[in-house]
Amino acid sequence: MRVTSDFLGDLLRPQAAKPKGPTSRERAAANRVAVLRAVAAHGHLRCADLGAACWPGARYGLQMAQRTVRGLVEAGELLARRNAHGSVSVVLTRPGAAALELHGVPARHGLDLASVRGPTYAHHALTSRWCVHRQAQGFEAWSEYALVNGYAPVTAQQLLARFRKMPDAVLVKGTRLWLVETESAPKATAELVRIVSLAEHVGQRVHAALPYTLAGVIVLFDATLNHAGRVAKAARERWGSLSAADQAALASRVTLAQADIGLPLVWRGCTETPLALAMRS
C-alpha cells in the first residue's frame, strides 16, 4: 500500500476540540435571567412556582430556585414580600427590571403590586401556577398580568374588543388559543353564563390582526369546590332551549381544569375534562 503525504497529514493533524459546554458561572447567570423572566411574566411568584417554571421535572428544582432567588435578593434585583397566605413571594425591583431590559426582555417592577397581600392573591397564585403547569407541557400560557402589561402575543385591548371580557389567562398552541377563567370564589350565575357563552365563538378568529383561532374555554378551580356544578348550571341556563346534540357540542368546547391543591396552595396536579351538562348542583 502506498502511503501518501495527504494521508499522513490527516493522521498527524490535531483533532478539532469538542465545543465546550457552559461554565458553572454561565449556567448560574442563565438561571438568574430565567428566574427574573418568570417573575416578570407573572408579577409575583413563590420559590415553589419558580422551581416548576425554570426547572420543570427536576428533582432539586425547588432548591435551585431557592438558591437563585437568594442571590437575586442579595443583589437587589428581587424583593421578598410576605403574601396573603403568610408565605413569601418575590417581585421584581427596579434594578431587576433594568437587568431584564438589558437582555431585551420588557419588564416592570412589582414593588406596588397589591395582589401580593390583597384578597386576589389566591386567584392570582392559582392562575400563575396553572400557567406554569401548562408551559411545562409545551404550551404558551399567559396570565392576566402579562396580557395587561403587553408581554403576551395578544393584548388585553384585542381580547376586550373581541369578547367584551378580559380572561384570567390565555393558552396558546400554534395558531390555537384558549380563554381561561379562574374560579377561586363563587361568581354570580349571570357571570358564569357570560363565561360559557364564549364557547359559541370557538372556531372563529380571535382578532383580525392576529393569526389565532379560538379553540375553547377553560375554567380553572380547586377540585374540592363545587364550581363544576355551578358552571354546568350556567351552561344549561344559556343553552337549555337548544337540542341535546347542540348542547353537547357546545359543552365539549368548555374544559374544566380541576386543580389538586393542598394547603396553603400547594400544587399537586390538575385534571382536565370536558364540561358535562348532566351535572346537577
What are the structural domains of the chain? Answer: 23-118 (1.10.10.10), 119-281 (no CATH)
Whole-number pLDDT of residue 16: 65
Q: What is the pLDDT of residues 235-270, one digit of tens each?
A: 999 999 999 999 999 999 999 999 999 988 999 999
One-character DSSP codes across 41-95: HHSEE-HHHHHHHHSTT-TTHHHHHHHHHHHHHHTTSEEEEE-TTSSEEEEE-HH
Reported as a pLDDT band with limits 50, 70 and 90, residue 279 is very low
Contacts of 263 (CB under 8 A, 6+ apart): none
pLDDT at 18 over 70: no
Cα(11)–Cα(34) distance, integer angstroms:
44
Distance in angstroms (rounded) separating the CA atoms of residues 37 and 6: 53
Euclidean distance between CA atoms 232 and 194, whole angstroms: 13
pLDDT in tens, 44-82: 999 999 999 999 999 999 999 999 999 999 999 999 999
User: Nearest Cα to 90, choosing from 148, 35, 45?
Assistant: 45
In this predicted model, what pLDDT tens digit does every residue of 132-186 receive, in sequence order?
A: 999 999 999 999 999 999 999 999 999 999 999 999 999 999 999 999 999 988 8
- By DSSP bridging, strand 213-222 and strand 88-92 are unpaired
Residues 72-90: tens digit of each pLDDT = 999 999 999 999 999 999 9
C-alpha 241 chain-centroid distance: 36
CB contact at 8 A, 127 and 168 = yes
Which of 119, 121, 123, 137 shows the shortest CA–CA distance to 272?
137
pLDDT for 281: 41
Arithmetic mean of pLDDT over the chain: 93
Q: Contact at 8 Å (CB) between 107 and 40?
A: yes
Q: What is the mean pLDDT of residues 197-204?
A: 98
Q: What is the pTM (predicted TM-score) of this model?
A: 0.89
Residue 99 C-alpha cell reads as 437587568
> What is the DSSP secondary structure assignment for residue 17, as one 8-state letter?
P
